[in-house]
Structure 1
Amino acid sequence: MTRIRVAAYVIRHRAVPELLVFDHVGMPEAGTQIPAGGVHPGERLEHAVLRELAEETGMRSASVIRQVAAEDTTTYFHLHALPTTPDAWTHTVQGQGDDAGLTFSCRFVPLPLEHPLTGGQDAWLDRIDARWTAER
């Protein structure tokens, strides 16, 4: 059975648009990533992306702007973060999923990115319309 996934381009606007990324604490080989994960059976994709964001980063204040792209089994979403969201934090994943107990170092980085994301996760960033990254 194919696993359906979602991924979150969480954008915060300050002087320039910034993207939320994270690294696995103690696992540098995992590379820099965006929040992403599996969709539960019967779960709406928009709900899944917000759930994955909360599970992996602890962030609960983002809002879904729109679907950006669907690639193979992963659907990418553009989300908006408040400008008052912290610059950086660590979060330990709770629950029963594959990431349970892992600690992620989360931070916002300016766009365009200096370095590519793991697994080509940045492939659809150019589809985010700059109008939607401005403060709202």
Structure 2
Amino acid sequence: MDLPIPVRVAVAAYIIRKNHQGSYQLLLFKHSDCPEAPLQIPGGGVDPEETFEQALHREIWEESGLTSLSVIRKLGVAEMCWCQPRKLISQRHCFLLEGAADLPGRWEHVVAGDGMDAGMVFSYFWHSLSLEFAIPYDLGSFLYPQYIPELYSLVPHPVF
């Protein structure tokens, strides 16, 4: 008899801001402590007593230090099945948020909280997207013009 596959419920934050040229950029980070790790966006697990939006704001604060971001909309749920180190379904509730134009262009933040990444240093920066840009796994599920048109408004689209 097969046991049910555990589900890990998480949130992810696609945070955008309008730069001084009037185009939107996406907030990304690199792991300063783990250079081989791919580019990422803030996010993490949902505690049992939290709503998705509460978890979203807590994770953003723990991982980046940012507060007072406006939720624009929920983008959807990205689901992925992981087989290593054990079989697990990741169910990530993804949101689009906007930060102020005057946020710093780059900064480092020591992750707060009590998660696995606590104490790690994340290096943040804003990135202007192209249609070819991608981030790995389920984090890139919504990086398309139909989900976040704000990021692609000045990007030339291919003609078919």
Question: What's the TM-score once normalised by structure 2's chain length?
Answer: 0.76
C-alpha separation in 2, matches of 1:53 and 1:96: 14
C-alpha separation in 2, matches of 1:17 and 1:32: 18
1:71 aligns with 2:78: yes
3-state SS of paired residue (2:104): coil
Structure 2: where are the runs of 5+ without partners? 1-5, 80-90, 154-160
Larger helix proportion, structure 1 or 2?
1
- 1:13 deviates by 0.8
Match of 1:40 among 42, 47, 71: 47
- 1:95 deviates by 2.5
The one-letter code sitting in structure 2 at the alignment partner of 1:12 is R
Match of 2:110 among 92, 98, 113: 92
1:24 aligns with 2:31: yes
C-alpha separation in 1, matches of 2:136 and 2:97: 19
C-alpha separation in 1, matches of 2:36 and 2:137: 12
RMSD, aligned α-carbons:
1.9
Identity of aligned residues (%): 39
Q: Find the structure with the greater CA-based Rg.
A: 2
3-state SS of paired residue (1:11): strand
3-state SS of paired residue (2:7): coil
1:9 aligns with 2:14: yes
Structure 1: where are the runs of 5+ without partners? none
C-alpha separation in 1, matches of 2:139 and 2:149: 17
Structure 1 residue ranges (4+ consecutive) displaced by more than 4 angstroms after TM superposition: none
